[in-house]
A = this chain, B = another copy of it.
Amino acid sequence: MIDLNAIGRKARAAQIQIATASSAAKNRALEAIADSLLAHTEQILEANARDLDAARASGMSPSLMDRLALTQVRVQAMAQGVRDVASLPDPVGRILSGGTLKSGLEMQKITVPLGVIGIIYEARPNVTSDAAAICLKSGNACILRGGKEAIHSNTAVANAMRAALPQAGFDENCVTLIEDTSRETSRELMRLHSYIDCLIPRGGAGLIRSVVENATVPVIETGVGNCHAYIDRTADLEMATEIVFNAKCSRPSVCNALETLLVDAEIAPTALPRIYARLQEKNVEFRGCEKTCRLLPQAVPATQTDYEIEFLDYILAVKVVEGLDEALEHIRRFSSHHSEVIVTRDLEAARRFALEVDSAAVYVNASTRFTDGGEFGLGAEIGISTQKLHARGPMGLEAMVSYKYVLYGQGQVR
């Protein structure tokens, strides 16, 4: 097993340097990293080919294989992603508030980096460069632990980045990839309290649960989206149909995709067949409550589990509800607090839904698919938080900083 304490110590030392680096210096490092990724394209693609061979041999599904696969164009996109982060405003050193206190002390509340960020993620190798770029720009060092399916690709990407850091005057340990993908090492990382200031797991419900259960370091939970749409009795059915189609079908494997449809009983007899017909373009399976099955013979009966999980597939859980109160109650019970939408023409229903639904993003008459750092204008995104502490919803550079108070006096005592 590798020595995580040694890795932590080195990351901490590197972080102290980058924490106080100028924006210009950090941007030079990011540009050097982008250049280095391009210069190492051949090595990265060779390493990726080894991962793809292993994946094929293990019978990985075509959609996962596609996530894992790199091409020259994808490596160029990774490099461009790093340059895009360089072009964003520096989140460090912003004065959030300040003024003179009653004691005469001049106070400034100033943004500072979080420190050392641990990131545990799954198959996609582009996360390695995306996450590292966001961490560097915000003055943080990062310790990355990717999935074993992508280990050769991730190592090649990390090596290309580390090679560039000293050229720009930075310690290569600003970015560290843990090459040991064992579960034990992952668990140890979750408990590396002296060296990890914040741990961000990016992946499915199983990974998030394991981190929550095992981590003693501060964690930001991300990415589990059991998202709901509620079709109010006053809804424009054309709009409702298109929103449900888009939210369920445009990319079913992502966390902001729709998983459960709630329909007011008053309009269910017309709404359900119409929505069902539209979603047959993608052969979506409906799993419904008793009333749904009565109104829509094509639906199969839903179990409680169907309301609890993310399908991440062309499957939709459906329930007919007696109005807004029952919809809100269902959402409170089953939502993962990611994204929910009401389709309505009723002002009071919209107001209550926006106020009472306790999720990171609450929509009135729009698809849940908009919950995304780019769509929200954040420029880059390191994940979508589903917890309430620190950061909620899409996390950009601003979620990667803390603050400190600096107080200037002339000998004040209390």
Residues of A within 8 A of B (CB): 16, 19-20, 101-103, 105, 107, 112, 114-115, 193, 197-198, 212-213, 215-216, 218-220, 236, 239, 242-243, 245-247, 250, 332, 350, 354-356, 358-367, 369-371, 375-377, 387-390, 392-393, 402-414
The answer on a CB contact under 8 Å between B388 and A115 is: yes
Bound CA span A296–B96, Å: 44
CB < 8 Å: which of B103, B354, B366, B406 contacts A370? B103
For the complex formed by this chain, how many copies does it contain in all?
A: 2
- CB-defined contacts of A245 to chain B, threshold 8 Å: 413
Known: A356-B20, A404-B393, A413-B246. A114 touches B388 (CB 8 A): yes
Bound CA span A413–B239, Å: 10
Bound CA span A197–B388, Å: 7
15 residue pairs of the A-B complex, CB under 8 angstroms, read A19-B358, A102-B375, A103-B370, A105-B370, A105-B375, A112-B388, A115-B358, A193-B212, A198-B388, A213-B216, A218-B388, A242-B411, A364-B406, A366-B407, A392-B404
Query: How far apart are A63's CB and chain B's nearest CB, in angstroms?
Result: 20
- A366: nearest chain-B partner, CB-CB: B409
The answer on a CB contact under 8 Å between B390 and A250 is: no
- A218: nearest chain-B partner, CB-CB: B389
The answer on a CB contact under 8 Å between A406 and B354 is: yes
- A-B contacts besides A197-B388, A220-B389, 14 pairs, CB < 8 Å: A20-B355, A20-B356, A105-B366, A114-B389, A193-B212, A218-B387, A359-B404, A363-B408, A364-B408, A365-B411, A365-B412, A367-B412, A369-B414, A376-B405
Known: A250-B413, A389-B114. A404 touches B103 (CB 8 A): no
Bound CA span A360–B404, Å: 5
Bound CA span A112–B357, Å: 11
The answer on a CB contact under 8 Å between B376 and A402 is: no
Query: How far apart are A321's CB and chain B's nearest CB, in angstroms?
Result: 18
- A220: nearest chain-B partner, CB-CB: B389
The answer on a CB contact under 8 Å between B367 and A414 is: yes
Known: A103-B370, A114-B388, A390-B389. A405 touches B362 (CB 8 A): yes
CB < 8 Å: which of B16, B19, B102, B413 contacts A243? B413
CB < 8 Å: which of B102, B242, B392, B413 contacts A369? B413
Query: How far apart are A412's CB and chain B's nearest CB, in angstroms?
Result: 4
- CB-defined contacts of A409 to chain B, threshold 8 Å: 363-366
The answer on a CB contact under 8 Å between A389 and B402 is: yes
- CB-defined contacts of A367 to chain B, threshold 8 Å: 412-414
Query: Across chains A and B, which 7 residue pairs bring their CB atoms closest together, nearest first?
Result: A366-B409, A246-B413, A388-B402, A390-B390, A239-B411, A369-B414, A366-B412
- CB-defined contacts of A350 to chain B, threshold 8 Å: 408
- CB-defined contacts of A250 to chain B, threshold 8 Å: 413-414
Bound CA span A243–B412, Å: 7
Query: How far apart are A361's CB and chain B's nearest CB, in angstroms?
Result: 5
- A388: nearest chain-B partner, CB-CB: B402
Query: How far apart are A229's CB and chain B's nearest CB, in angstroms?
Result: 12
Query: How far apart are A326's CB and chain B's nearest CB, in angstroms?
Result: 15
Bound CA span A103–B403, Å: 32
- CB-defined contacts of A410 to chain B, threshold 8 Å: 239, 365-366
Bound CA span A409–B403, Å: 34
Known: A388-B197, A409-B364, A414-B250. A218 touches B218 (CB 8 A): yes
Query: How far apart are A6's CB and chain B's nearest CB, in angstroms?
Result: 17
